[in-house]
């Protein structure tokens, strides 16, 4: 019997190498299913089967028989009793057709034309990928054919390679999505920074403009102050002096006339300076 097993292993070895090469070349999850189904017939009994990968609220399922392959993706994976047992114990489950609730099987394969007598045995091989996905490979044998330990070993190896590549591709997709999100956020932040920078530039310009305005206003006020303290004060002081002089010269008409003339000159000068100060305020403030 040992020799028969070595023949069985030798026969399947090349197909498994080709399967491994095919899986490693896959870039998308969609092509993984084609490679898996293509090599099942060389590595274990080929009848109908199901590969299920799941975690949390996500599952990926391949259903196949010799007529077609169907891939389903959904939210909550529904496991039958012996599938639950396989996952809980991580021990492969081998069932004869009489031990299986065909209605449950028929529901899973509702798009396939299964009949209760279309298989002999069903094997469920479980696998858990460290901290990510759980997986099951269920496959059946045709009537009067029996599933061997070697079949289960190859099913485990196939599922292991499949799950590793599946996780790698999904991780790559998730990473890509995360990178795109980060890039989008970075772009939003960059745009916001540009807006803030523009606001700061505008504020700076405004402050400069206001400062210039205030400086100009201060200069006007300084000039105004100079005019009032010197240019206006001087004729006004003259007027006050002349008024005192005129008061003392009331008897001397000649002197009084001279004082009045000088008073008029100073008053005109005062008028001129007041007008100049008003004009300065009106034009430059």
Partner 1 sequence: MYKITSYEDASADTKAIYDDSMRTLGIPFVLNWLKCQGENPIILKGNWEKLKSTLLMGDVPNVLKQIIIHNISKKKNCNYCATVHGIFANSMSDVLTSDDDFILTENLTNDIIPSSYKAAIKIITNAAVNPQSFTEEDINALKAEGFSSTEIIELLSLADFVNMATTIADISGIKVDNELLEVA
Rank residues 142 and 234 by Cβ distance to partner 1 and give the closer one: 142
Which of residues 23, 26, 33, 46 is near partner 1 by CB under 8 A?
Answer: 46
Rank residues 89 and 149 by Cβ distance to partner 1 and give the closer one: 149
Assess contact for 166 and 53: CB atoms under 8 A.
Answer: yes
Least distance in angstroms from the C-beta of 95 to partner 1: 17
Least distance in angstroms from the C-beta of 40 to partner 1: 7
Q: Is 55 helix (H, G, I), strand (E, B) or coil?
A: strand
Assess contact for 63 and 74: CB atoms under 8 A.
Answer: no
Q: Which two tokens stand for residue 90?
A: 């991580």
Which of residues 84, 142, 234, 276 is near partner 1 by CB under 8 A?
Answer: 142
Rank residues 4 and 90 by Cβ distance to partner 1 and give the closer one: 4
Least distance in angstroms from the C-beta of 122 to partner 1: 15
Least distance in angstroms from the C-beta of 139 to partner 1: 11
Provide the mask over 51-90, with x wherever binding to partner 1 is found by CB under 8 A and - wherever it is not. Answer: ---------------x------------------------
Rank residues 72 and 145 by Cβ distance to partner 1 and give the closer one: 145
Taking each helix axis as running N to C, give the angle between helix 233-248 and helix 253-284, from 0 to 180 degrees, rounded to the nearest 10: 160
Provide the mask over 6-45, with x wherever binding to partner 1 is found by CB under 8 A and - wherever it is not. Answer: xxx-xxxxxx--x------------------xx-xxxxxx
Q: CA-CA distance, 246 to 39, in Å (whole number)?
A: 132
Least distance in angstroms from the C-beta of 153 to partner 1: 12
Assess contact for 147 and 68: CB atoms under 8 A.
Answer: no
* Planar angle of CA 48, 52, 54, nearest 5 degrees: 170
Q: Parallel, antiparallel, or unpaired for β 93-96 and 49-55?
A: unpaired
Rank residues 15 and 281 by Cβ distance to partner 1 and give the closer one: 15
Q: Which two tokens stand for residue 23?
A: 């899986």
Binding range to partner 1, per CB under 8 A, among 1-9, 180-188, 191-199, 225-233: 1-9
Residue closest to 226 by CA, chosen among 281, 180, 176, 160:
281
Least distance in angstroms from the C-beta of 51 to partner 1: 15
Residue closest to 56 by CA, chosen among 154, 134, 165:
134
Q: CA-CA distance, 158 to 65, in Å (whole number)?
A: 17
Number of residues this chain uses to bind partner 1 (CB under 8 A): 29
Q: CA-CA distance, 119 to 100, in Å (whole number)?
A: 11
Residues that bind partner 1 (CB under 8 A): 3-8, 10-15, 18, 37-38, 40-46, 66, 142, 145-146, 148, 150-151
């Amino acid at each position: 019997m040992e020799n028969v097993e070595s023949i069985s292993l030798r026969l399947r070895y090349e197909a498994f190498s080709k399967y491994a090469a095919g899986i490693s070349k896959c870039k998308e999850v969609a092509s993984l299913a084609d490679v898996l189904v293509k090599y099942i017939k060389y590595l274990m009994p080929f009848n109908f089967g199901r590969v299920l990968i799941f975690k949390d609220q996500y599952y990926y399922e391949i259903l196949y028989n010799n007529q077609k392959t169907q891939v389903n993706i959904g939210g909550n994976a529904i496991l039958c009793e012996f599938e639950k047992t396989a996952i809980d114990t991580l021990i492969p489950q081998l069932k004869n057709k009489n031990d299986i609730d065909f209605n449950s099987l028929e529901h899973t394969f509702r798009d396939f034309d299964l009949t209760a007598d279309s298989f002999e045995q069903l094997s469920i091989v479980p696998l858990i990928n460290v901290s990510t996905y759980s997986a099951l490979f269920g496959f059946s044998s045709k009537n009067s054919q029996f599933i061997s330990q070697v079949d289960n070993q190859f099913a485990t190896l196939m599922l292991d390679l499949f799950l590793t590549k599946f996780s790698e591709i999904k991780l790559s997709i998730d990473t890509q999505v995360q990178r795109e999100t980060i890039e989008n956020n970075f772009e939003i932040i960059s745009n916001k920074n540009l807006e803030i920078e523009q606001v700061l530039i505008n504020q700076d310009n405004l402050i400069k403009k206001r400062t210039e305005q205030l400086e100009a206003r201060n200069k006007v006020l300084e000039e105004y102050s100079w005019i009032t303290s010197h240019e206006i004060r001087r004729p006004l002081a003259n007027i006050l002096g002349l008024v005192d002089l005129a008061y003392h010269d009331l008897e001397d008409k000649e002197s009084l006339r001279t004082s009045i003339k000088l008073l008029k000159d100073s008053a005109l000068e005062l008028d001129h300076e007041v007008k100049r100060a008003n004009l300065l305020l009106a034009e430059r403030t």
